[in-house]
Amino acid sequence: MALYDVWAPEPSRVRLQLDGTVHELARGDDGWWRAPADLDRSPGHRYGFLLDDAETPVPDPRSLSQPDGVHGLSETFDATTFAWTDSDWKGRPLAGSVIYELHIGTFTPDGTLDSAIERLDHLVDLGVDLVEVLPVNAFNGTHNWGYDGVDWFAVTENYGGPAAYQRFVDAAHALGLGVVQDVVYNHLGPSGNYLPQFGPYLTDKHASTWGTGVNLDDAGSDEVRSYISDNTMLWLDTFHVDGLRLDAVHALVDDSPVHLLEELAIRTDHLEAVSGRSKWLIAESDKNDASLVTPREAAGRSGAAFGIDAQWSDDFHHSVHVALTGETTGYYSDFERLAALEKVLTRGFFHDGTWSSFRETYHGRPIDTERMPAWRLVVANQNHDQIGNRAIGDRLAATLDEGQLVIAAALTLLSPYTPMLFMGEEWAASTPWQFFTSHPEPDLGEATAKGRIAEFAKMGWDPSVVPDPQAPSTFTDSKLDWNELATGRHATVFDAYKRLTALRRAEPELVDPALAGVAVDYSEDERWLVLKRGSLRIAVNFGEDPRELPVESSAVLFTSDASIVSGRALRLPGHSVAVVR
C-alpha cells in the first residue's frame, strides 16, 4: 500500500485529483485502487478521490492531514521527517503510574497542542506519570469533545495538526511523561463521514448507540479491521505514543473467531517487543467483566481472555461520589451505603453479578482478587464523562469543601488501583466542563441539544438548566482558568494533591497491586472508613462531626487537617483524611 492507493470496493471507478490534475487509478482484485508510481508523494500536495462519476473529490480515508477540515482535500504529510529527541525513551509502565486526563481545546486558553506543551511542567510538579489526551482526530466544526471524529488518521487542525502532535509527544517524553491517546473505533461522527462511499466500513448486522455498527465481522470486514489496527500503529509507532485508551469497547460487536480487541492486543505486544518500548492498551467498558484484561495465556483457565492491559472502572467513581455528595439519583442509587465503597476498594467491582436498579438487570462478573493485579483497573473520582455528562457539567469543587475534595483525592491516589485525575481537579478548578459541540449544520446542532435533554430524564436532573451544546459560551466556559492555581483554596487543594502523589511514590505499599492484601473497616452510622494498605492506614471521616477512630498509629504521613496527630486512637475532624503508620 502506497500513498494515493485506496481500498474502495464500492465504486466502479476511482480517480485521484492531485493538485487539480485528475489521474485514473487501477483496480485490483482485492478492492484496492492503485495510483501510478511516478506521482509526486512529497509533503504539501492537496488531493482527494473522485468516486464513480462524482465531480467533487472526497478525502483519503487514511489522510494524515486535513488543513481545510473534514470536507476538504487531504494534504500529503511525511511523518518520518520529524526530528525526534526521545531515542532514549523506553516508555512508562502502566503499573504504578498516575494518569492525568486532559482535553486539548480547554486545557489552555489557546486550546492547541503547542500551548499544552507550555503547561507540561505543571504535570511534572504535580507528580503525574502519564498524560491521557482526549481524541484529537479530525471532526467537523471548530470545537468538540473529540468523539465525533471522522478522519481517524488525521490530527485536527484546530489543535495544530500532525506536526504539532509530534512536538507534543516529544516534549512530554523529554520531561519524563508518557502519553496515552484516547481513540474511538465504535462509531463515526455525524458529519464528514465519507467511508461508506468507499466500502463496507459500517454494517446493519450490529446496531449501536450511535446507529449503524462498525463492520468487524460482516462481508469486507478484514479490511475494516486492518484499517483500525493500522490506526493503532499510527499512534503507538509512528507518533511514539505509549498507550491507547479505547473508547466504549462494549460497542465493538464482533463475532469473529478472534475478537478485534484481542487482535489489537497481540499487535501492541508485538510492537513492544520489537521497539523495546513499553506499549499498552486501556479499554473503557461498562460490562464489569475482567475477561477483558485477562492475559490471553490464561484463557483456558478463565474462559474468555482478550489480553487488554487495563480497563476503566466506573463503580469506583460512583461509590466515592455518593459517599461524598449523598447524591443517589439514577445510576448512583445502588451506591448509597458505605458498604458499596468497601466492596469496590477490596473487590474491584460493585456490580459483579448483582442487581443494577438503573439497568434493571443483573450486571457484571466477579474479579479473581487472588490473581488479577489491581493496577488493571483505572479509577477516578472525576473524569470527562462523569463531569461532562452531568446536566450543567459541574465538578465536585462546585459543591464540596476542601476537606471533602482532599478525601476524594486520597481515596483515588492511595487506592490499590491505577489513579486518573481530570484536568483542573488538582486545584479545585471553579470552571465547569460541559458538553459542547460546533456542528455547522443547524439540524445536527438542534438534534444534539434535544438528545442531551432526553439523556438526563432518568437521572432526575432539571432539563431547563442544561446548557446549549452549540452555544460558544458552553465551550469557552469550560476552559481552565490557570490564574486560580496559586490562590485561596485552589492552592490548598493543589498542595494536598502534590503531597499525596509524593507519598504514593515514597511508600511501596501504596502501589502494591495485590487486592487480596487490601482490607477496609467502616461505620455506616458514623460515616468513617479506614483503608488498610499493608502497615499503612488511610482513615477518612465523611461526616461533619469529629470522630475518634479505633486506629493506633506511631506516625502521621499525611493529613488534610493539621490538628490530626498519632496515638492510641485517631481523632479526625469532620470532612478530613489522614494516612498513618
CA 170 to each of CA 86, 275, 559: distance values in angstroms, whole numbers, following the listed order: 6, 16, 37
Identify the active-site residue in 170, 247, 352, 426.
Answer: 247
Query: Do 282 and 180 form a contact (C-beta atoms < 8 A)?
Result: yes
Residue 475: which H helix or E strand, with range? helix 472-476
Quickly count: other Cβ atoms within 10 Å of residue 355's Cβ: 11
Rounded distance, CA 535 to CA 407, Å? 20
Single-letter amino acid, residue 405? L
CA 80 to each of CA 43, 152, 159, 166, 237: distance values in angstroms, whole numbers, following the listed order: 11, 19, 20, 10, 11
List, in order, residues 6 or more apart from 571 with CB less than 8 Å away: 546, 547, 548, 549, 564
Query: Do 551 and 580 form a contact (C-beta atoms < 8 A)?
Result: yes
Identify the active-site residue in 284, 334, 385, 507.
Answer: 284
How many CA atoms lie less than 13 Å away from 434 in the CB half-sphere?
Answer: 24
| Crossing angle of the two packed helices 338-347 and 314-325, in degrees rounded to 10 | 150
Instruction: Note if 284 is an active site residue.
Output: yes
Q: What is the CA radius of gyration of the chain?
A: 25
Grid coordinates representing 95 are 503499573
List, in order, residues 6 or more apart from 416 with CB less than 8 Å away: 345, 374, 375, 512, 513, 514, 515, 518, 533
Grid coordinates representing 565 are 496527630
Beta bridge partners of 518: 533
What are the backbone angles phi and psi of residue 21, rounded to the nearest 5°? Answer: -100, 140
Catalytic residue numbers read 247, 284
